[in-house]
Each structure stands twice: as structure tokens, then as C-alpha cells.
């Protein structure tokens, strides 16, 4: 490469690097990334049926509240979050036992319950999640029959 061309290429490469850095998407906060994954995983297992979803809820139940789960029977629960509403909720306590260990978050969700693939209930509410040791935990829902 001729020296004059090389001298012009260096500033151009630098300018391109700056533009690339400016156009990169902002980093997604850990709690948003973990919450998104939690909801996607939940809805994937819901499509597999109640036994798979019960196993998911058992495995993601906050460790301090493992004994507080519900049987789904023949129902599944789809959770559609409004992730931009995710916010800290340090005062949340799911029972008289007090607040869970970890960083507690609350998010608005649309909850759809299904029986045999047919919608039997729908509501909008809030759902609490907890980040503990780099993992997202929840509190298993107990859908009404």
C-alpha cells in the first residue's frame, strides 16, 4: 500500500471504529436479561403441558419458599411480561416468613391459564421475581380452577 494511501486509511479506520461504537445497542441489565429468559422458558414448558410446567415451577421456586408451590392439575400458565415495567421491590415479602434473599423485582404481566389448550382465564397483574446468586427465581402461581 502506498504511504499516502496508508496515511488516509488510518483516520478512516478510526472514524469507522467510533461510528461502530456509537451504533452498538446499550447493554441489557442482568435482571432484564434473566427475567426475559424466565418468561420465555416458562412459556416454552407450558406448551409441553402441565407436568413439564410443574417441574419448571419447582426448579425456579425461590429456595427460601420451596415448600410453597401449587399443583396445576390439568392447567398451564402463560406469562406475558411488560419488561419495561420491571422495577425493584425490596419491601416484598411473600409470606409471614419475611422477604426472600436476593434482589427482588416486580413486573407487570398478562397471565393466561389454559386447560387442554383452551383459554379458561386471563388477567393482568404483577409478578415478583428474585435474582439470587446470578439466577432468576419466582413464586409458583396457583391458578384457580
What value does the mean pLDDT of the chain take? 85
The reply to whether 6 falls in a domain is no
* Of the candidates 94, 98, 92, the residue with the CA atom closest to the CA atom of residue 141: 94
Residue 47 located in a structural domain? yes
Provide the number of structural domains found in the chain. Answer: 1
- Phi first, then psi, for residue 88 (nearest 5°) are -65, 145
Residue 80 lies in a domain: yes
Asked whether residue 70 is domain-assigned, the answer is: yes
Residue 38 counted as domain residue: yes
In whole angstroms, give the CA distance from residue 25 to residue 130. 26
The pLDDT of residue 10 is above 70: no
* Residue 82 located in a structural domain: yes
Rounded Cα–Cα distance for residues 70 and 104 (Å):
21
Q: What is the pLDDT of residue 17?
A: 54
Q: Which residue in this structure is represented by grid cell 425461590?
A: 62
Segments forming the whole domain that contains residue 119: 29-137
Residue 17 counted as domain residue: no
Q: What is the pLDDT of residues 87-120, one digit of tens each?
A: 999 999 988 778 999 999 999 999 999 998 899 9
Kindly state whether residue 12 falls inside one of the protein's structural domains: no
Amino acid at each position: 500500500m502506498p504511504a499516502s494511501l496508508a496515511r488516509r486509511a488510518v483516520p478512516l479506520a478510526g472514524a469507522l471504529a467510533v461510528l461502530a461504537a456509537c451504533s452498538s445497542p446499550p447493554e441489557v441489565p442482568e435482571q432484564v436479561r434473566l427475567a426475559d429468559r424466565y418468561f420465555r422458558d416458562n412459556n416454552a414448558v407450558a406448551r409441553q403441558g402441565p407436568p413439564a410446567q410443574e417441574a419448571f415451577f419447582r426448579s425456579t421456586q425461590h429456595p427460601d419458599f420451596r415448600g410453597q408451590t401449587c399443583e396445576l392439575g390439568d392447567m398451564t400458565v402463560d406469562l406475558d411480561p411488560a419488561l419495561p415495567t420491571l422495577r425493584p421491590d425490596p419491601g416484598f415479602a411473600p409470606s409471614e416468613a419475611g422477604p426472600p434473599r436476593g434482589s427482588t423485582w416486580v413486573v407487570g404481566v398478562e397471565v393466561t391459564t389454559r386447560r387442554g389448550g383452551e383459554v379458561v382465564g386471563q388477567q393482568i397483574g404483577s409478578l415478583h421475581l428474585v435474582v439470587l446468586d446470578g439466577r432468576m427465581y419466582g413464586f409458583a402461581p396457583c391458578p384457580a380452577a
